[in-house]
Each structure stands twice: as C-alpha cells, then as structure tokens.
A and B are shown apart, each in its own frame.
Chain A
Amino acid sequence: MNGSALPPRGRLGHPEVFAAIALASFAAARFLPLLDLPYTCPLKRLASIPCATCGMTHAFVHLAHGELSLAFAASPLGTVLAAAVWLYALADLCRVLVGAPLPSVSPRLVRATTAAAVVALLVNWAYLVVREVT
C-alpha cells in the first residue's frame, strides 16, 4: 500500500486548510465577544439537561485567554479539543515553514482516534449531565 495521496513537499493541501480553520477558531475565541451572544442551548432550555457540546464555547474562550481552570470547569473535553486543534495548527505551520513532509497516518490510527473521540464525547456528556442534575 502506498497510502493516500499526500500533497507534495512544499505545497499547501487539506491539512493546511484545517490548520487555518483551527487558527481562526483561536482568533475568534480570543478576540470576538462570543460569550456576549444571547444564545442558550435548546436542549438545556427544553429539558434542563446540557447537550454533548455544551460549554465548549466557554472552554475555547477561557483557554484562549489563558484561564485553564475556568476552561476545564466549562467543559473538560472542550478544553482538550481546543488545546489539541491549536497545537495541531502550530505544528502544521512549523512543518510548512520547515518544508518537512506530512507524516503518514495509518488508517488504523485514524479509526482508533475516531473511536476514542466518540467515547470521550459520551464520557464528557455524562459528566456534564451528572454535574447539572446533582
């Protein structure tokens, strides 16, 4: 197997697009007044139960301002996700600047990561629900 098609060395490809999206999310969390928007989670409003992604905006904003404890209090998974995507963006930026090739990721690793992400989402949701009702 020669793996999936990778962008040649020095060319911008899909990884760079996702890195740009990640950097944009940091800029939005750092500089836009996202927490001032009048928005409440529909599930929380209807059933008084947080949804799986509740608190992620707060986590992104707090982490972008360096408030780690507040970020974890808002959503542990959101904090980890924000840190992961921003680190990925930095790593990809460095890779492009250095001109290093994109490291190959095996399909098995992608599947394992996806499954772990789904489990993490469920665990985080259970934590939010238990915290809300107790």
Chain B
Amino acid sequence: MIARCARCQGTFTTDTFGLQRCPHCGSELHLSDPNAPKPDVPTERPAAGTPGPTPPGPTSPEPGSGPVWGAPPPPPDVAGGPGPELPPPPGPPPGGYGPPPGGWGPPGGDAPGGWGAPRQPAESPASPELPSPFEERARRGFFAGFFETWKLVATQPQQFFRQVRVRPTGQAVLFGVIASTVGLWVQLLLSLPSLGSIGLMEGWLRDMPGQNEESIEMFRAIAERLGGAWYLALFVASPIYAFLRIFLAAALFHLVLSLLKSAPRGFDATLTTVAYASGIYLLEALPMCGWMVAAVWFVIATILGLSESQRCGPAKAALAVFSPLLLACLCCCGPLSVGGLFRGLSGAGGGNVDV
C-alpha cells in the first residue's frame, strides 16, 4: 500500500493502517482502514453539480462570499491515469477551512491557521495548502492580490511558504515575472537621466590631468552600451530575463537540494518558492541601492521559503541558495594557489617572477 504524507506530500509504502510516521518529514498521519465500518458521515465527495450531503472537508470558494481560504491541494498529476490509493486528506482544523475571522490580516489575529495567524509548531499536524492572494486576484482585485502576496512573501516568508500551494506553478511564475519586470523597467527609467551624465563625465575625465585612455574608453563603452537600441533591447528583454532568472535559479537550487536528498515535494515546490521570492525584485525600482537590497532580501526570503516549502530546514536551504557562491569561493582558492605555484615555478625556471 502506498501512502502519501499530507504535510510533505512525500509517498512511502506501508503494510498497516492506523497511526504512521512519515519517513520523509517525521510527521504523524493516520491511515484509515477502508474495511472498517464506515462512520455516519459520507467519505466520498459528491460529483460536481450533484446535490448531496456536505462533506466535512473544506468549503469551495464562492464569488462574493468574502475571504475564503480556497480548496485543499489538488491531487498531484500522475502520468498514466489515477494514482494508487492514497489516504484521505487530514480532517479540517478547528474552526474549519471557512473564512478566517482575521482574514489575511497581520500576525497576532485570532484566525485559526490563517496567513496572519500565530505560527504553528513544526510538529503540529499538516495545515492545508492555500492559494496565494495573487491567485485569488479575480475576486480580490489585481493590485490587492498582488500587493497582499508581496507583503506576505517579504514580511512573513516562513508562514507564507509553509502554507502556500505549490501546484500549479504558473501563477507563482507570473507573479515573479511581473514583479521583477516592473523593478527592471523602473530601474531602466531611472537610469535614463544618467545617460547624458555619462557623456558629460567622459568630457570631464578627458580634461582631468593624469587620466589614461583606458578609463576614457571604458566610459565610452558604458555610454554606448546604455544608449539607444541597447537600451530599448534591455527594456523588451526584461520579462524574458526575469523568466529565465526564475527558472534557472530554481533549477540550480533544486539540483543542490536533490543532492542533499532534501527535496521531498519535488521541483514544483522549489519553483514556486523561487518565483514568489522573486517578487522581492520589485525593490530594484528603488533608486541607487535598490538592486542590492532586493538581492539580499531575495536570498533571505528564498532560504526561509525553501526551508518551509521543501521541509528541509534552513541549513540545507541556505546551502542550496549559497551553493553557486560557495562553489566559486572554494574553487577560487584552488586556482589561485595553483596559479601562484605555477607562476613561481615558471619564474624560478625562466628568471621572471611576477610579484
């Protein structure tokens, strides 16, 4: 019998029913015996559109019914038709899945399990996966959904990524691409006035005594690179660049997580995390140091997000995020020392030692 953990979505085989412990994340789950006498409450959901008794599961969002947390995570797609028999989803939390009294408000509210609710301990039973406010933008409005999601990613990444649903990933990628593109566009617009000043600085540099031709050439290259068609190309290519950045970063992080055996929820969880965290790049719109703030904030949000979405802990998540930098740092020492050794040897042999 194959069972699926409701918390980490990992699957494992077991021969017994009852209380089980997930070998992936260690959380406890209850496998009900299908041959056991059925309770009064029906366990099968009625077909869509057919009237029937309301199951104890989550309620479906209805237009105009106020803030609703949305449906539980859909069953994962499995090639070749329906998958093996899986345990029933966990029961509803106290108070049900219905609209939380506190809504999407700030932390400290009394909404049980809501985005703004106090943090649950890691060992607690699995909380249901929720669509992000951006996914509910048809009901909330585009800007409200966008900025609510951005606020959650930026200020409550652990809570957000613990509960946000990771499939399908399209909405998360769309969110990341929109935010990154807006940041890049504003950054480009802000750099417009500096185009003229670069040419001006080139003139000043030429008049200054002691300036070599190399630095003047560098300024000219920068001015040419930022001007005219190149500028327009950057503007058009910004969404493509944002898209590529999300997918390539997610692929790189996921490879490291796979190497560490710390990706139980698959590539979808990594991609969703990186895509939502890329929304931080909206801060690139800030003049001067915006890109730096955005980069640091993105790294922090991604580490916290991956640790929650993949249930791998912050250490492994940090290793996954810092791995490119770490690899470069580790390897830099090797080439530098090897280079120094070779230069020393060649200098000893040829009589020319570079200091």
**Bound state CA distance, A21 and B11, in angstroms?**
31
* Residue from the list B167, B258, B339 in contact with A49, Cβ < 8 A: B339
Which residues of B approach A to under 8 Å, CB–CB? 2, 11-13, 76-80, 83-84, 167, 169, 221, 225, 244, 247-248, 251, 255-256, 258-259, 261, 266-268, 271, 327-328, 331-332, 334-336, 338-339, 342-343, 346
Q: How far is the CB of A56 from chain B (nearest CB, A)?
A: 14
- Contact A2-B338, Cβ < 8 Å, known A107-B258, A114-B255, A114-B259: no
**Bound state CA distance, A121 and B12, in angstroms?**
35
CB neighbours (8 Å) of A134 from chain B are 342, 346
Which residues of A approach B to under 8 Å, CB–CB? 1-2, 4-9, 14, 17-18, 21, 38, 43, 47-52, 101-102, 107, 110-111, 114-115, 117-118, 121-122, 125-126, 129-130, 132-134
In the complex, the chain A residue whose C-beta lies closest to that of B343 is: A133
Docked-complex contact A2 and B331, CB < 8 angstroms? no
- Contact A102-B79, Cβ < 8 Å, known A1-B2, A2-B2, A122-B331: yes
* Residue from the list A101, A102, A121, A126 in contact with B335, Cβ < 8 A: A126
- Contact A5-B167, Cβ < 8 Å, known A43-B332, A118-B327, A126-B338: yes
- Contact A115-B259, Cβ < 8 Å, known A1-B2, A1-B11, A102-B79: yes
Most buried by A among B2, B84, B259, B266: B259
Docked-complex contact B84 and A4, CB < 8 angstroms? no
**Bound state CA distance, A126 and B331, in angstroms?**
9
**Bound state CA distance, A115 and B255, in angstroms?**
9
CB neighbours (8 Å) of B12 from chain A are 1
Q: How far is the CB of A63 from chain B (nearest CB, A)?
A: 20
CB neighbours (8 Å) of A47 from chain B are 336, 339
Docked-complex contact A114 and B256, CB < 8 angstroms? yes
**Bound state CA distance, A14 and B250, in angstroms?**
11
Docked-complex contact A5 and B335, CB < 8 angstroms? no
Docked-complex contact A129 and B338, CB < 8 angstroms? yes
- Contact A126-B327, Cβ < 8 Å, known A9-B79, A21-B244: no
Given contacts A2-B83, A5-B266, A48-B339, 4 further A-B contacts (CB under 8 A): A101-B80, A125-B331, A126-B338, A133-B338
